[in-house]
Chains A and B, each alone.
Chain A
Amino acid sequence: GAGVSQSPRYKVAKRGQDVALRCDPISGHVSLFWYQQALGQGPEFLTYFQNEAQLDKSGLPSDRFFAERPEGSVSTLKIQRTQQEDSAVYLCASSLGQRGEKLFFGSGTQLSVL
């Protein structure tokens, strides 16, 4: 595709449910980032992949959050036992190279936990 694609666009979950958010980066992009954005705030870093290797997961808020990119392309962010404080927009971004290049963002997944 022409850009970064995220699905679903909206997700409503009951507290305690598990959710999986998908990101399809631009084909050939080496780097993939996940960010969390609360209303009225800037994006907060969650994790970074270089191809299939997860090189930084320092931003994941708890062990309920897990991300993978097994074949170096599509990535999934999984949140187990969702809590109300997990409600946010989850953004995925990719870039062509390995270091500090132009980021291309998807439109995000808006997660609401009831």
Chain B
Amino acid sequence: KQEVTQIPAALSVPEGENLVLNCSFTDSAIYNLQWFRQDPGKGLTSLLLIQSSQREQTSGRLNASLDKSSGRSTLYIAASQPGDSATYLCAPYTSGTYKYIFGTGTRLKVLA
């Protein structure tokens, strides 16, 4: 059974810092992995989708890396802004299943 852990659970940083959010998963037989952002009271927005054959995926100030064999993914946020404040969740899609399994997320607060 796939289990997903995200560290840290919460993070508060001043504006402008570069951040690293960590995601680990127990079953490395994944098809891909998505990183999502969730604002309070809202649904989730997909930020990056990284295929199992890829090592990295970039979108603007966001960069996601994937080390499938070790069951780890990292979301790097460059030059953080107050608008980046949200909960960030990772979700691997396990091969042979029909589901994304989510971690509990990292609650990020960027202070102006």
Contact = CB atoms under 8 A, between A and B. Distances in A.
Nearest to A41: B104
A18 interface: no
B61 interface: no
A33 B43 contact: no
Nearest to A108: B43
B71 interface: no
A104 B46 contact: yes
A41 to B, nearest CB: 6
Contact of A105 (B31, B41, B45, B105): B45
Nearest to B51: A100
Contacts of A55: 98
Contacts of A21: none
Interface residues of B, number: 24
A45 B46 contact: no
A42 B42 CA distance: 13
B108 interface: no
22 contacts: A4-B43, A33-B99, A33-B100, A42-B91, A42-B102, A42-B103, A42-B105, A43-B102, A44-B102, A45-B101, A48-B99, A50-B98, A55-B98, A56-B98, A91-B44, A99-B93, A100-B32, A102-B34, A103-B36, A104-B46, A105-B44, A105-B45
Interface of A: 4, 33, 35, 40-45, 48, 50, 55-56, 59, 91, 93, 99-108
Given A42-B4, A107-B42, 15 more contacts: A33-B100, A42-B103, A42-B105, A43-B102, A45-B100, A45-B101, A50-B98, A56-B98, A91-B44, A93-B43, A100-B31, A102-B34, A104-B46, A105-B44, A108-B43
